[in-house]
Amino acid sequence: MREIVSYKQEKKAQTFAHYLTTVSIENKLIKEDGLFEVWIYDENQLDEAKKALSDYKKSPKEMKFEFAHIKAKEINQEKERLEKIERKKRPKIVSGQNSFMQNGLGRITSILMIISVLVTFISYISQSTALINWLFFYPPQIAKGQIWRLLTPIFIFGTHDQILMTIVNLFISLLWLKDFGTAIELIQGRKFFILLLIIITFTSNYFQYQVVGPSIGGMMGVVYGLFGYIWMKAQFDPNSGYIMNQMTLIILLFFLALGFMGISNIANFGHLGGMLTGMIWGYGTSPHFKKIFNK
């Protein structure tokens, strides 16, 4: 997004915004510090918008400006009609306490869940830590070419001799992953979700390793990363399609704080590192950040 002009008078700003709409330049009117700012979404249309502004400043009483609100209203109504039709075709994103989705699972999310269950099952059946040791995040081994260790700790939920805690950890982690992962896959696609997943996984594992050393991994670092991303998108990018239920927010922040109070022996720094990564990415790609950065 890019700011084109600001006016003290709302009517002037609205008139120009309406005109931009009539010439197919998508824009937004924002009130900030007593001024009415006109922003455009596509920076590739910057030159065209500047020319329109120059024309408007020269002859603000021209008919194309004076009656722009009528045509803009028709365009917006048609746009809303088409968006309603499109929304009906999409799976609904809901704001339930534990769920963003009403139908289905994302494909990548499903694969992650299946691998997590298989690793836990094989570890328990074999009654051995060999598989777990092979998945740990351990830089000396990564430097020797075992690059899978960059990502595989997310599939470690516990050891075979602590099966009850392992199952609880697995269940809670996958419950949140189902919601957050599927939501991101739906809205931004599988390729983006995979990229986000890789970055969050690496940073959460690295953060935990630097502070604590080699330790049990788990999916919650990823969950907190996806949570942080969706939280920032919902807060600072209202057109993104994401929402964040207040109860979900309270629950996850509460358990993060609980971990740092020493009540539970979990990968707290991995959770924190994942969440911070997601938050930075979510906020850094929001219009709110771009607006501040471009000033």
pLDDT of residue 265: 58
> Distance between CA atoms of 249 and 33, rounded to whole angstroms?
30
Q: What is the dihedral of CA 260, 275, 238, 294, to 10 degrees?
A: 110
- Please choose, from the candidates 44, 50, 43, 58, the residue with its C-alpha nearest in 3D space to the C-alpha of residue 20: 50
Please tell me whether the overall predicted TM-score, pTM, comes out greater than 0.75 for this model: no
Closest CA to 226 of 170, 188, 262: 188
Structural domains of the chain sorted by starting position, each given as residue range(s) with its CATH number in brackets: 2-89 (3.30.70.2350), 107-290 (1.20.1540.10)
Q: State the 10-residue block means of pLDDT for the chain, 295 residues long.
A: 91 95 93 91 91 94 92 90 69 43 75 91 76 76 84 78 79 92 91 95 87 75 95 88 90 89 74 94 87 66
Q: What is the pLDDT of residue 287?
A: 83
pLDDT of residue 293: 67
Backbone angles phi, psi at 83, to 5 degrees: -65, -35
DSSP 216-250: ---SHHHHHHHHHHHHHHHHH-GGGS----HHHHH
pLDDT of 140-150, one tens digit each? 788 888 888 88
